[in-house]
Structure 1
């Protein structure tokens, strides 16, 4: 009986010692899960950054910064009216635009590819994080790679201009998907380099949001006949319809795949311009979110600028950038992996779950 009581006493002693050990090493109230980081590492203001090509640099929105409006051959056309400056994200104190008109994915990525004499945008991001805490990176790129969207617009203009020519979409449509498929890995690689730059600066995945956005159709069918020419939108009706209903949606689907593969969030802009395309406003261009055929006559007198006199044509204007900036702001406030910018009952763009938008 005494031996039995000894084992009971010994067991209780071991149990108490175990509790003391747990208390000493854990401490009272010590959380058992991972500690939440306070946000991006480093010093400086919380910042949102835009990378990519003309649709996000601000081409078409006017008021370009002097250093990107032809100075020393730099035609990146960054505008203070660009989308990133139209965002209003709580806590974000600084907004930086590193995008450059005409940029391919390789110039967004790390490497030696330049655009208008500017180095890699990912490398510029690496310099930025030295004195900024980057909370959001939004990227708009891909159209200048295999799809060559600007060349597509030129082809469609030529199809309208030369009497008897078939619609440009007749030649473009059969190979359009293969172009998009070739573009996808290039965009994925660029996004991987953006993530690499931030990782090397000590960022973890949860420290920032990485968003890839697609493109809005700048033109569409149903425009007034008196603007379906050099007065505004010189394209055949069949091509206006193909660009809006097939070309741009397919491009957006490819970019959605790229975002998934790269582990980025995705913002679908393919239907963002519906009803507000170039020339859709008729006599009231103020209703439009995209620039019409735009010729800077003053540039024609300068040999260094003449080749860029049409550069602004068929890009989001200041109104368009303001709308997309509002939609992006809404999207960043959600936990949705993807969303579509669609017009709401108030006439403005809002972020809607893509599964809803597809219905």
Structure 2
């Protein structure tokens, strides 16, 4: 074979070799996780009543007691107040009264609804999830709604002040809550990983709870007309119970590397019963009774469910603070009122 023939053969062999090894030498660009790149970008809310929209009214069909579903998801919920230019839609999977076990994977149901993480699986496969906001833990060992009921019972005179009966055991309740919330958050991360998302492809934000009541109750409202709590219990809820709960939720967020948004002081000055002249300025429901529900056996036990939850005005403020936080890279922030009275996401340096 002439030299030119050898050269042609060599070139053929080199090209063939590169073709066989092409996948190793020139790997294709990494495909975006989950659904196609052009899938609509969405955000998701998960957790319990503080984020489902309990107290904000106008509840979505089939979540206001229909067929036993009392999740009370509201179109006024904070997640729907988040307006971001690249987000096409918000999904609210949160359910009033949900324990963290129902937020995570597993067989635990809340008001007939399956695991929220399992519901997330379908959304993550169809849309491009850019942020997941979680508020959970209060319905685990803390049983915060039952604590408020105990405080009301103390005002009636049927029990000791809840600050005395529950206060000493409160830190232990929070400590037992932390691993449960941590587990639920890890389940959410597992769902996203199984859907092809890397940790950097979406934000996981854990938010804490705002104090719905405080010691500065307006004259004439510290009774069944608004806030039937003893003064010492009002102080304990705002100054001790909610801050300790906040630190527990913060710890769970840190355990999984999630971002943290502190709402514990978000309602300061806007708590239930804080204004005698302008109740619309408050961001939380007072003692609320759905009188028509008392006429029906299947609804009567839920007639007080909205009490001491953020109202529509509160959700609007919390949602706008959340939206601001989502546009930053801060690992943690707190929703605090500015001089104009509106909330903004303040870092520790602010």
Output the TM-score relative to the length of structure 1.
0.87
Q: CA deviation at 1:36?
A: 10
Alignment pair present for 1:53 and 2:42 = no
Q: CA deviation at 1:325?
A: 0.4
Contact 2:211 2:237 in 1 (8 A): yes
Contact 2:50 2:96 in 1 (8 A): yes
Aligned partner (choices 79, 82, 99) of residue 84 of structure 1: 79
1:330 is aligned to: 324
Q: CA deviation at 1:114?
A: 0.2
Q: How does 1:254-273 map to 2 (within 5 A)?
A: 254-273=248-267
The runs of at least 4 aligned residues of structure 1 exceeding 4 Å deviation read 35-40
Aligned partner (choices 184, 187, 192) of residue 193 of structure 1: 187
Aligned partner (choices 338, 353, 356) of residue 349 of structure 2: 356
Aligned partner (choices 276, 279, 282) of residue 282 of structure 1: 276
Alignment pair present for 1:182 and 2:176 = yes
**C-alpha RMSD over aligned residues:** 1.7
Deviation string 1:48-100 (CA, Å, 9 cap, x unpaired) is 00000000000000000121001110000000000100001220001100000
Name the SS for the 1:247 alignment partner: helix
Output the TM-score relative to the length of structure 2.
0.90
Pair 1:83–1:206, CA change in 2 (3 A): same
Provide the rounded CA distance (Å) in 1 between the counterparts of 2:60 and 2:216: 35
Stretches of structure 2 that go unaligned for 5 or more consecutive residues are 1-17, 19-27
Alignment pair present for 1:321 and 2:301 = no
1:72 is aligned to: 67
1:12 is aligned to: none
1:347 is aligned to: 341
Alignment pair present for 1:157 and 2:152 = yes
Q: CA deviation at 1:166?
A: 3.4
Provide the rounded CA distance (Å) in 1 between the counterparts of 2:112 and 2:34: 31
Alignment pair present for 1:220 and 2:214 = yes
Deviation string 1:177-225 (CA, Å, 9 cap, x unpaired) is 0100000000000000000000000000110000000000000011123
Provide the rounded CA distance (Å) in 1 between the counterparts of 2:106 and 2:340: 44
Q: How does 1:242-261 map to 2 (within 5 A)?
A: 242-261=236-255
Q: CA deviation at 1:175?
A: 0.7
Name the SS for the 2:340 alignment partner: coil
Q: How does 1:135-150 map to 2 (within 5 A)?
A: 135-150=130-145
Provide the rounded CA distance (Å) in 1 between the counterparts of 2:124 and 2:246: 30
Contact 2:33 2:195 in 1 (8 A): no
Q: How does 1:160-171 map to 2 (within 5 A)?
A: 160-162=155-157, 165-171=159-165
Q: CA deviation at 1:128?
A: 1.2
Name the SS for the 2:298 alignment partner: coil
Contact 1:60 1:313 in 2 (8 A): yes
Provide the rounded CA distance (Å) in 2 between the counterparts of 1:314 and 1:150: 9
1:9 is aligned to: none
Provide the rounded CA distance (Å) in 2 between the counterparts of 1:332 and 1:220: 29
Q: CA deviation at 1:160?
A: 0.1
Number of matched pairs: 323
Q: CA deviation at 1:303?
A: 1.0
Contact 2:219 2:276 in 1 (8 A): no
Provide the rounded CA distance (Å) in 2 between the counterparts of 1:141 and 1:160: 28
Aligned partner (choices 297, 300, 306) of residue 306 of structure 1: 300
Q: CA deviation at 1:37?
A: 7.3
